[in-house]
Amino acid sequence: MKIADDIRIWKMEKESIEETNLLGLKKKWFSFSKPKNLSKIDYTVLIGVQILMFSAIYALNNFYPYFEEIHFRRTESLHGRILVFSLLAILIFQILFLIYIAKLFIKYKPISSVSNEALPHCTVIVPAYNEGNLVYHTLLSIAKSNFPKDKIEIIAVDDGSTDDTWYWMNKANIDLGCTLTVLQQAKNQGKRHALYKGFIKGKGEIFVTIDSDSVVEKDTLRNLISPFVSHKNCGAVAGNVKVLNKNQGMIPRMLNVSFVFSFEFIRAAQSSLGFVLCTPGALSAYKREAVFQCLDNWIDQKFLGRSATIGEDRAMTNFILKQGYDVKFQRNANVLTNTPTAFNNLHKMFTRWGRSNVRETLMMNKFVFKNFRDKNKLGARFIYLNQWVKLILAVPLMFLMLYFLFSHPLLYVCSALAGTFVFSSIQMLFFTRQYNFIESLWAYPYSVFYMFALFWITPFAIITVKNGGWLTR
């Protein structure tokens, strides 16, 4: 089975990294070990994008007088000066935000696992819809966790699947000695309702939610739940999501680098404030009392008069933050998840995430400027403002980009590629520090790919924010 092969490859790569660390080489910046299954096409793309970016920098350098003349003519008018200063202000704000996030990241440390005696009882909920045999591997990986067996309850919920998901859930239950609770909904009602059924049924002090196309490592659960013991005000914990199927094409390889930066840098920084914006559906944990304080509002949530059918993870995070709880991130709680391999599913996933981001950013406005927590309010508001800046500017910047693309294509392409090279290098260096140099180079193709093929996602999500379709089902 493909998922089993992906898991074996992941374990081999992890063991390789651990062996390197044992040899005392953990502090080295670059690991040149060759990733598995890289084809000639992969290498061609990596080399081609580097050449493209350096060519753009060369063009900017050598044709600078021409670009300067265009810039001078454009800034002679009042509108031109306003545009230039506005863009400069945006750039300065983003640089300051990045510096602030970097400072928070330096402060971040994952919380070590507590003893078996200190671990609370937990309920693990796995909602599934048309996942087939993937859910079988998910449930087996949870059962193999080194979490005390007398302190864990596993609930699998089939959300009205039309394939053989129900069969694979029951097979997992039989193979595990009928230790699971397997539930089935008569018809598909959506992931939120499947989770709700698990919340109502579960008896644990901590709820853990795991996507049915994901697998966890043996120590994931205990690492994920330990912050609730160490920090009494912890209301939720986000797991560290990694790409399981990164050997299945260019898109998963690119997402692999993007996910590492998004979780191990951005969420790690947010965790230093106890203000992680989103606990991912792939792996999250919630304090029972925090969930039940908002459960009715969460399940009945509406947006512009319509029942909310997307963004259940981001919505739950908001409701918990609103109560004054801290939301943490655990870098040492890994979950491996399958990502899209085709452009069609990728842009649909990003559109769904984008709409959820717009909705929940608006929802945060109801409490983030109030006295909703005892500490770190200023930092939380700065992170929130950055979210707003990106949303407010998304549509204007798209039209500005299209204008420059058609009016001065050479200037736009060279400037965009040069800027992308700078910001992609931050992701590349971060990934290299943690993992592998060759794999880190996918940060560059991903940025170029996003800039030319996915730039419309956020503006489109804003314009169509009322739509609540899952899209990828």
> Within a domain: residue 390?
no
pLDDT tens for residues 378-397? 999 999 999 999 999 999 98
With 60 as the cut, is the pLDDT of residue 89 above it?
A: yes
Q: Is 155 helix (H, G, I), strand (E, B) or coil?
A: strand
> Within a domain: residue 205?
yes
> Within a domain: residue 3?
no
Domain that residue 168 falls in = 122-350
Q: Which two tokens stand for residue 105?
A: 């990241």
At residue 299, what is the residue type? I
Residue among 398, 391, 319 at smallest CA distance from 358: 391
> Within a domain: residue 24?
no
> Within a domain: residue 231?
yes
Q: Out of 6-10, 182-186, 344-348, pick the least confident.
A: 6-10
Report the C-alpha gap between 467 and 473 in whole angstroms.
15
Q: What pLDDT, on a 0 to 100 scale, did the predictor assign at position 158?
A: 97
The span from the first CA to the last CA of the chain, in angstroms, equals 22
With 90 as the cut, is the pLDDT of residue 4 above it?
A: no
Question: pTM above the 0.85 mark?
Answer: yes
How many domains is the chain built from? 1
Q: Out of 28-32, 123-127, 289-293, 426-430, pick the least confident.
A: 28-32
With 80 as the cut, is the pLDDT of residue 64 above it?
A: no
pLDDT tens for residues 412-467? 788 888 888 888 999 999 999 889 888 999 999 999 999 989 999 999 999 999 98
Q: What pLDDT, on a 0 to 100 scale, did the predictor assign at position 409?
A: 82
With 70 as the cut, is the pLDDT of residue 228 above it?
A: yes
Q: What pLDDT, on a 0 to 100 scale, did the predictor assign at position 411?
A: 77
pLDDT tens for residues 150-162? 999 999 999 999 9
With 70 as the cut, is the pLDDT of residue 375 above it?
A: yes
CATH code, 251: 3.90.550.10
> Within a domain: residue 17?
no
With 50 as the cut, is the pLDDT of residue 29 above it?
A: no
Write the secondary structure of 292-347 as one string of H (helix), E (strand) and C (coil). Answer: HHHHHHHHCCEECCEECCCCHHHHHHHHHHHCCCEEEEEEEEEEEECCCCCHHHHH
> Within a domain: residue 195?
yes
Report the C-alpha gap between 61 and 292 in whole angstroms.
59
Interacting residues of 265 by C-beta distance below 8 A, sequence separation 6+: 101, 105, 430
> Within a domain: residue 74?
no
